[in-house]
């Protein structure tokens, strides 16, 4: 079976481009050009140079000895938390800003939930001297004040999304509306493997540097390119897509996607899309999404602002439906504890998103000599307030 | 013959009104429809509200949110309008986003529309390629006209594809915008209207987005067959209620317009 996108923009039953005609010229321009632009040697050179000198790649593949001992298996952490701006998000924004320049765009828009993608977009816009407008839900602006300040310091304009539930999905709606209203000079940098084709594939390709590096690094450390399992958290799913990418067609590598169960899958406050979602259309893509029986999109919940997206990228929906991926959901409580455990065991403060991936080891048992790569997608600095409140650390 | 095709043959410019079902109050759907018919509009788009209306500006977003809060659903709408053909004879189109239709079941949705006497559907996020590959046969089985949008950025080549795939009218979006932008029309729009007119498409065009009053209606219908008013109508409904419908429609005054205005 094929786990990558096909020529029509689908991963199995999922994907496509369900967009209003107003967006057609923009999305079509991107679809026709993205592969050829990405394959230009000058593009590749500039992309790799920036990833190396600006982002700080390759990020280490770190053998987490004490963590491994605790769970009786071999765990490597892919240290995306050490990227400039503190998470993997910047891999994609570097790629897309170069794409935008090749397409002659001088105005950049983005959506953001927790603010990580917004910061990563504002960063590359500052780097390239391009105008940057970030849409962020009114509720998130209140919850994530430090990232709002960061974006402003980097020269971005942050616009509050006041529609609907005033969170990530509404910020995405507003960014799409902006694009409709500014069809010629603007590029929309989507932050995850979501949205209309070709976005899921383009973002996955930019993030695929993660597994490209893991292959080389694991060969050095273990004498083989393929681990037994790759594990990553999934909101929209960009860090997971990056880690899974070069292993999609390697059946010997188990793929584990970890979703946020929030306060419990059936608590009514959850973001476990694979368990709770049904096939539908969100932000231009056919995928699994959380919705009412009447097809209205519902608001997910997770303590982690990067995982509370009501859908999941079409690649992940396909991995789920085809059975290629094992989907596990982790509650707020288990994720928070796993995050704190990593601090104490390894001296690394993880983002709460990444803590979800770390939390599976309590219940999901592995063999002693299994080699498992967990994507440590971001660092926990941005989550300090949540950690402080949750564990009463003040 | 489908009521839309019949209406398009009339020798006059057409006024079509969009409103959100279940707004301002849940049970206002039928009273609004009947009042619009009484006021003399030619065609009505019944908006099925959606939680995430990507192509819409704030006015329609807010009316949609309010309607959903009132309890509007696809099943509820179909129940409200099940007897509408006892009183209303003008073309009726359901306009909404694709996800609620998908959840209801495309075939079931089409079948019930047809039983009610709905003539066409506008689904802005169901694009041409997906429609033709998966849904066209079902729409046609129930004689529902799918109405596609074109914009100033749509290439002539694609407009011709859309024209070939359509059998009714083409929804001509006046400018690169979401609904409810009210800056009026400039030469950019009038040039675009004339460019489209010169293509001599088989389907007549009806202009939407940014039509709010007599002036914009006149400008839009200089070359096009008709125009659709949405956000401006929702605003008047919010401010003046159902009682205000008749005077709003009169203010567009197309019925009393001089022949050179409307022909």
The two tokens of residue A393 are 């650390």
Q: Above 50 in pLDDT, residue B263?
A: no
B contacts of A21 (beta carbons < 8 Å): 124, 127, 148-151, 154, 173
Element (H, E) at A202: helix A199-207
Picking from A21, A181, A296, the nearest residue to B51 by CB comes out as A296
* Selection from A285, A265, A284 nearest residue A274 by Cα: A265
Cis upstream peptide for A58 (omega within 30°):
yes
Do A295 and B178 lie within an 8 Å CB cutoff?
Answer: no
A16 vs B: CB within 8 A: yes
Q: Above 90 in pLDDT, residue B257?
A: no
* Selection from B93, B2, B36 nearest residue B237 by Cα: B36
Nearest chain A Cα distance for residue B7, angstroms: 25
- Rounded distance, CA A166 to CA A246, Å? 36
User: What confidence tens digit (pLDDT) does each residue in B17-40 have?
Assistant: 999 999 999 999 999 999 999 999
User: What confidence tens digit (pLDDT) does each residue in B85-127 have?
Assistant: 999 999 999 999 999 999 999 999 999 999 999 999 999 999 9
The two tokens of residue B250 are 């009169």
The CA-CA-CA angle for residues A161, A112, A16, to 5°, reads: 95
A282 vs B: CB within 8 A: yes
- Rounded distance, CA A360 to CA A363, Å? 6
Cis upstream peptide for A244 (omega within 30°):
no
Closest residue in chain B to residue A168, using alpha carbons only:
B52
A contacts of B26 (beta carbons < 8 Å): none
Q: Give me the residues paired with residue A289 across strands.
A: A278, A311
- Rounded distance, CA B205 to CA A345, Å? 68
Question: Quick check: is A89 catalytic?
Answer: yes
User: What confidence tens digit (pLDDT) does each residue in A302-332 have?
Assistant: 999 889 899 999 999 999 999 999 999 999 9
Q: Above 80 in pLDDT, residue A199?
A: yes
Higher pLDDT, B184 or A287: A287
Question: Quick check: is A220 catalytic?
Answer: no
Q: Above 50 in pLDDT, residue B262?
A: no
Contact B20, B59 (CB under 8 A): no
User: What confidence tens digit (pLDDT) does each residue in B195-245 have?
Assistant: 999 999 999 999 999 999 999 999 999 999 999 999 999 999 999 999 999
Q: Above 70 in pLDDT, residue B261?
A: no
Contact A272, A256 (CB under 8 A): no
SS (H, E, C) chain B: CCHHHHHHCCCCCEEEEEEECCCCCHHHHHHHHHHHHHHCCCEEEEECCCCCCCCCCHHHHHHHHHHHHHCCCHHHHHHHCCCHHHCCCCCEEEECCHHHHHHHCHHHHHHHHHHHCCCEEECCCCCHHHHHHHHHHHHHHCCCEECCEECCCCCHHHHHHHHHHCCCCEEEECCCCCCCCCCCCCHHHHHHHHHHHHCCCCCCEEEECCCCCHHHHHHHCCCCCEEEECHHHHHHHHHHCHHHHHHHHHHHCCCCCCHHHHC
- pLDDT of A164 reads 79
Nearest chain A Cα distance for residue B6, angstroms: 26
Question: Quick check: is B28 catalytic?
Answer: no
Domains and CATH numbers, chain B: 3-252 (3.20.20.70)
Confidence of residue B255 (pLDDT cuts 50, 70, 90): low
- Give Dmax (Cα) for chain B: 47
List, as own/partner pairs, every contact residues B115-118 make where C-beta atoms lie below 8 angstroms and the sequence separation is at least 24, other chains included. B115/B82, B116/B78, B116/B81, B116/B82, B116/B84, B116/B85, B117/B84, B117/B85, B117/B92, B118/B46, B118/B92, B118/B93, B118/B94, B118/B144
Q: Which of A43-52, A69-78, B171-180 has the lowest mean pLDDT?
A: B171-180
- pLDDT of B221 reads 94
Domains and CATH numbers, chain A: 25-51+89-203 (3.40.50.1100), 56-87+208-391 (3.40.50.1100)
Q: Could you report how far apart the first and last alpha carbons of chain A are, in Å? A: 52
- pLDDT of B254 reads 60
User: What confidence tens digit (pLDDT) does each residue in B169-187 have?
Assistant: 999 999 888 888 767 788 8
Confidence of residue B258 (pLDDT cuts 50, 70, 90): very low
The two tokens of residue A234 are 């999934």
A6 vs B: CB within 8 A: no
Q: Give me the residues paired with residue A348 across strands.
A: none
- pLDDT of A114 reads 84
Nearest chain B Cα distance for residue A377, angstroms: 29
Do A22 and B153 lie within an 8 Å CB cutoff?
Answer: yes
Enter the ipTM. Answer: 0.93
Whole-number average pLDDT of chain A: 96
DSSP assigned state of A51? I
* Selection from B129, B149, B263 nearest residue B205 by Cα: B149
Q: Above 50 in pLDDT, residue A196?
A: yes
Dihedral sign for Cα A222, A228, A233, A237, please: positive
User: To probe the interface with A, which of B74, B125, B196, B208 has the most A CB atoms within 10 Å?
Assistant: B125
A177 vs B: CB within 8 A: yes
Contacting A with CB below 8 Å, chain B residues are: 50-55, 57-58, 61, 65, 68, 73-75, 97-104, 124-127, 130, 148-151, 153-155, 158, 173, 176-178, 181
A297 vs B: CB within 8 A: yes
Average pLDDT over residues B37-48: 97
pTM over 0.90: yes
Q: Above 50 in pLDDT, residue B256?
A: no
Selecting among B28, B45, B112, B119, the annotated active-site residue is B45
């Amino acid at each position: 079976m094929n786990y990558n996108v096909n020529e029509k923009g689908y991963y199995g039953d999922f994907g496509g481009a369900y967009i209003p005609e107003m967006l057609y010229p923009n999305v079509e321009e991107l679809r026709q050009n993205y592969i050829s632009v990405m394959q230009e040697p000058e593009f590749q050179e500039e992309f790799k140079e920036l990833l190396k000198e600006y982002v700080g790649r390759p990020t280490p593949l770190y053998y987490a000895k004490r963590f491994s001992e605790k769970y009786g298996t071999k765990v490597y952490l892919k240290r995306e938390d050490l990227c400039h701006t503190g998470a993997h998000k910047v891999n994609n924004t570097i790629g897309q800003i170069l794409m935008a320049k090749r397409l002659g765009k001088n105005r950049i828009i983005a959506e953001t939930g927790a603010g990580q993608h917004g910061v990563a977009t504002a960063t590359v816009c500052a780097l390239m001297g391009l105008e940057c407008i970030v849409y962020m839900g009114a509720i998130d602006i209140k919850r994530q004040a430090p990232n709002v300040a960061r974006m402003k310091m980097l020269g971005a304009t942050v616009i509050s999304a006041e529609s609907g539930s005033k969170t990530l999905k509404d910020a995405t709606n507003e960014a799409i509306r902006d694009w409709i209203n500014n069809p010629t000079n603007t590029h929309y940098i989507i932050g995850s493997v979501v949205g209309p084709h070709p976005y899921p594939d383009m973002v996955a390709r930019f993030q695929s540097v993660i597994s490209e590096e893991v292959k080389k690094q694991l060969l050095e450390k273990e004498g083989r390119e393929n681990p037994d399992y790759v594990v990553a958290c999934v909101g929209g799913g960009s860090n997971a897509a990056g880690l899974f990418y070069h292993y999609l067609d390697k059946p010997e590598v188990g793929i584990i996607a970890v979703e946020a169960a929030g306060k419990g899958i059936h608590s009514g406050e959850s973001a476990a899309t694979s368990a709770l979602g049904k096939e539908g259309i969100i932000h231009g893509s056919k995928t699994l999404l959380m919705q009412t029986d009447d097809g209205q999109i519902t608001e997910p919940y997770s303590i982690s602002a990067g995982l509370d997206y009501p859908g999941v990228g079409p690649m992940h929906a396909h991995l789920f439906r085809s059975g290629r991926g094992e989907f596990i959901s982790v509650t707020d409580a288990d994720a928070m504890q796993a995050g704190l455990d990593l601090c104490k065991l390894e001296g690394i403060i993880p983002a709460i998103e990444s803590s979800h991936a770390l939390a599976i080891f309590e219940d999901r048992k592995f063999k002693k000599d299994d080699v498992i790569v967990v994507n440590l997608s971001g660092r926990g600095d941005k989550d300090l307030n949540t950690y402080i409140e949750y564990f009463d650390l003040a | 013959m489908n009521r839309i095709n019949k209406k398009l043959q009339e020798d006059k410019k057409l006024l079509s009104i969009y409103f959100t079902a279940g707004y301002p109050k849940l049970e206002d759907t039928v009273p609004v429809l009947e009042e619009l018919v009484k006021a003399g509009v030619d065609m009505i788009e019944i908006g099925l509200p959606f939680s995430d209306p990507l192509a819409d500006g704030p006015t329609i977003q807010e009316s949609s949110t309010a309607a959903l809060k009132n309890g509007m659903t696809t099943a509820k709408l179909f129940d409200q309008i099940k007897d509408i053909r006892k009183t209303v004879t003008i073309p009726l189109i359901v306009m909404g986003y694709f996800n609620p239709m998908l959840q209801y079941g495309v075939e079931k949705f089409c079948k019930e529309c047809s039983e009610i006497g709905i003539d066409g559907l506008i689904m802005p996020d169901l694009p041409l390629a997906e429609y033709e590959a998966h849904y066209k046969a079902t729409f046609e089985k129930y004689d529902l006209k799918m109405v596609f949008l074109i914009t100033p950025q749509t290439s002539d080549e694609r407009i011709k594809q859309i024209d070939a795939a359509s059998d009714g009218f083409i929804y001509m979006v006046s400018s690169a915008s979401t609904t409810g932008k009210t800056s009026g029309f400039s030469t950019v729009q009038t040039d675009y209207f004339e460019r489209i007119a010169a293509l001599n498409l088989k389907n007549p065009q009806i202009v939407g987005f940014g039509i709010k009053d007599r002036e914009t209606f006149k400008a839009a219908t200089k070359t096009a067959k008709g125009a659709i008013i949405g956000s401006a109508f929702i605003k008047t409904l919010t401010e003046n209620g159902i009682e205000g419908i008749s005077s709003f429609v009169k203010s567009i005054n197309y019925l009393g317009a001089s022949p050179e205005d409307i022909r």
